[in-house]
Structure 1
Amino acid sequence: MNSPLADQSSSVLAKAIGYATRLLSSREYSVKQLNQKLKARGLDDEQVQSTLKYLILEGWQSDIRFCESFIRSKANNGQGIQRIRFELAQHGITEELLEKALNEVEVDWQTICDRLARKKNNQIKESDSFKRSSKLERFLLYRGFEREQIRRSINRLREVGESSGDNDQQ
């Protein structure tokens, strides 16, 4: 099998591959991101495609690895699956690839939602419980959690508040 380097200008492709591998040595990139970065360096479509093909064949670039790394990173920063799903679509990740990555990455979304809800609840200065819950719900929706997860988290906060004697009269 011929290398893509044999098909085109060796020095241009070697420089492009060198650039891309330097990028990939610090973190994972999606094919779409690398495509944009290589085009910004002045490579034409054929050179970009040859470079990407070479990186994928050598195992240096993998959208599934990128996706798994992205999910872990965003989950650790308190983002929910809905927001992560949206952001991955912006990076050119298909729904099928996302589902495959989610099966590989073990994330307890409810625990993350609960932790974030407790933290945010302590920061909300609202004394009215309905307004407090509404603010908390909007915040968690913005962070990308599903409504059912949010409902469970808010209910758990109410249960803890009631059992500790906190009845919103401070």
Structure 2
Amino acid sequence: MKSARAPLQTEAEIMDAALSLLSRREYSEAELTRKLLEKTEQQHHVESVLARVQEFGYQNDQRYTESYIRYGISQGKGESWIAMKLRQKGVLPALIEACLRDAEPCWQDIALAQLERKFKSQGCDLQEKAKWYRFLASRGFNPDAISSAVERHAQNQLA
């Protein structure tokens, strides 16, 4: 949706808009570009502003990706969900893979914590395990992490 304001014309106005956006939260390069292009049609100014804010260190896709991974983990999301969201935000797949690898979270432990938080009942029949599996799959965990978490949770239920 276009704003009712007049489009930004000068590079200084676009820089002000970029700094205003970045002062509130981190943006990927693709997100910031899209936001700025909604405010102006001066693509060459947007490219120049992006180069400058990156040079100053105000926008950095690696920092953004690492921050988003920490956010996803804190929300109990799995590797697939986090990677999908980052791709939607325009982050390069190679950067996503590298940052996920560097983060080294224990996906099985995160998945188990989600199961323990959501399913506190003492049942663990086949239907219940299927429900746990679907729950973790919907949160973006890979099959290995899900299997491990489901088995550990079932053992905890029996203990």
Q: Considering the TM-score relative to the shorter chain, is it more than 0.5?
A: yes
Paired position in structure 2 for 1:157: 153
Is 2:81 the partner of 1:52?
Answer: no
The structure 2 residue matched to 1:139, chosen from 105, 114, 135, is 135
The structure 1 residue matched to 2:12, chosen from 11, 14, 18, is 14
* Cα distance in 1, alignment partners of residues 92 and 152 from structure 2: 34
Paired position in structure 1 for 2:30: 32
The structure 2 residue matched to 1:79, chosen from 77, 101, 117, is 77
Is 2:137 the partner of 1:115?
Answer: no
Paired position in structure 2 for 1:96: 94
- Structure 2 letter corresponding to 1:122: K
* Cα distance in 2, alignment partners of residues 121 and 128 from structure 1: 10
Which sections of structure 1, spanning at least 5 residues, go unmatched? 1-10, 165-170
What SS does the corresponding residue of 2:53 show, helix, strand or coil? helix
- Report which stretch shifted further, 44-53 or 64-73: 44-53
- Structure 2 letter corresponding to 1:116: Q
Which sections of structure 2, spanning at least 5 residues, go unmatched? 1-8
Contact 1:80-1:144 within 8 A present in 2 as well: yes
Percent sequence identity over aligned pairs: 30
* Cα distance in 1, alignment partners of residues 67 and 147 from structure 2: 28
Cα distance change on mapping 1:130 and 1:68 into 2, 3 Å = same
**Structure 1 residue ranges, 4+ long, deviating more than 3 angstroms after superposition:** none
Deviations 1:76-112 (A, max 9, x none): 0010010111111111111211122224434222211
Deviation of 1:44 after TM superposition, in Å, equals 2.3
- Report which stretch shifted further, 111-120 or 17-26: 17-26
* Cα distance in 1, alignment partners of residues 26 and 106 from structure 2: 23
- Report which stretch shifted further, 64-73 or 88-97: 88-97
How many pairs are equivalent?
151
- Structure 1 letter corresponding to 2:12: A
TM-score (norm 2): 0.87
Contact 1:140-1:150 within 8 A present in 2 as well: yes
